[in-house]
Amino acid sequence: MAHQISLTVNGKQQQLEVEARDLLVDVLREKCRLTGTHVGCDTSSCGACVVEVDGLSVKSCTLTAVQADGGSVLTVEGLAGSDGLHPIQEGFKEEHGLQCGFCTPGMIMTAKDLLARNPNPTEHEIREALEGNFCRCTGYHNIVRSIQYAAAKMRGETPVSAS
């Protein structure tokens, strides 16, 4: 049975027709055509699908679209303004925090959530915050550095690049 839902996605309000079982991630990818949010598993383990719903980070494969009805969703596509990069995106570029790029949107959205709660995390806190996000390319080493870079930048400090 089809349901009408209203979602604000990256600031734009949309009326969508979805099935009750449709996952938020599938609606974002297929109906909104925002394919930056990825599906890397079927057990809510990998974190490639992390988005922000009403200010909280969520694995969008664990939420049905109807559960998000009336909510405001921020995906990686909506993170930066029309030009340039968000400081977290910049951190990932400066510190080579991505290789194949598949886990990257989820990593970035998870980092955003961490830095909102903890603007000055230790390396250990960053590593723990990434527990729900898998990366197979980077060994996490440069992802940690990327988030440290972003944290410094967002605190208004000058990030010291490692490379």
Partner 1 sequence: MSKYIGKSIKRVEDKRFLTGKGNYTDDMVLPQQTYAYIVRSPYAHAKVNGIDISEAQKASGVVAVFTGKDIPESIAGVPAGWQVNFKNGDIMKEPPHPLLIRDKARHIGDAVAVVIAESKAEAKDAAELVEVDWEELDAVTDPRAAAQEGAPLVHEDCPHNMCFDWELGNPKEEVDAAIAAAHHVTSLEFVNQRMIPNAMEPRSAIGHYETARDYYTLYTSSQNPHLIRLLMCAFVLGLPEHKVRVVAPDVGGGFGSKIFHYTEEALVIWASKQIERPVKWTAERSESFMTDAHGRDHVSEAKMGFDKAGNITALRVNTYANLGAYISTFAPAVPTYLHGTLLQGLYTTPKINVDVTATFTHTNAVDAYRGAGRPEATYLLERLLDLAALEMDRDPAELRKQNFIPAFDGVTEPGYQTQVALQYDSGDYHAVLDRGLEMVGYQDFRKEQAEAAKNGKYLGIGFSTYIEACGIAPSAVVGALGARAGLYESAQVRVQPTGKVSVYSGSHSHGQGHETTFAQVVADKLGIALEDVEIVHGDSESVAFGMGTYGSRSLAVGGSAIVKSIDKVLEKGAKIAAHKLEAQVDDLEYAEGKWTVKGTDRSIAFGDVSLTAYVPHDYPEGLEPGLDFSSFYDPANFTYPFGCHIAVVEIDPETGKVALKRFVAVDDVGNVINPMIVDGQIHGGLAQGIGQALFEGAIYDDYGQLINGSYMDYCMPRADDFPSFEIDRTTTPCPHNPLGVKGAGEAGCIGSTPAVVNAVIDALWKNGHQVKDIRMPLIPERVWNAMQS
Q: For partner 1, which is the closer residue by CB, 70 or 140?
A: 140
Q: Of 36 and 71, which CB lies nearer to partner 1 in the complex structure?
A: 36
CA 115 – CA 52 distance, rounded (Å): 13
Letter for the amino acid at 154? M
# chain residues binding partner 1, by CB under 8 A: 60
Chain residues 63-92 in contact with partner 1, contact rule CB under 8 A:
75-77, 79-80, 85, 89, 92
The pair of structure tokens assigned to 15 is 């009326």
Exactly one of 24, 25, 32, 144 binds partner 1 (CB under 8 A); which one? Answer: 144
For β-strands 2-9 and 72-74, DSSP reports them as parallel
Q: How far is the CB of 6 from partner 1 (least distance, A)?
A: 22
Asked if 106 and 44 count as a contact pair (C-beta separation under 8 A), the reply is no
Instruction: Report the residue from 36, 71, 87, 159 that binds partner 1 according to the rule CB under 8 A.
Output: 36
Per the CB < 8 A criterion, the answer to whether 159 and 121 are in contact is no
Beta strands across the sheet bearing 72-74: 12-19, 2-9, 72-74, 50-53, 56-59
Q: How far is the CB of 154 from partner 1 (least distance, A)?
A: 16
Q: How far is the CB of 140 from partner 1 (least distance, A)?
A: 4
Separation of alpha carbons 16 and 26, rounded Å:
12
The contact set with partner 1 (CB under 8 A) reads 19, 21-22, 26, 29-30, 33-43, 45-46, 48, 75-77, 79-80, 85, 89, 92-94, 96, 98-105, 108, 123-124, 126-128, 130-131, 133-144, 163
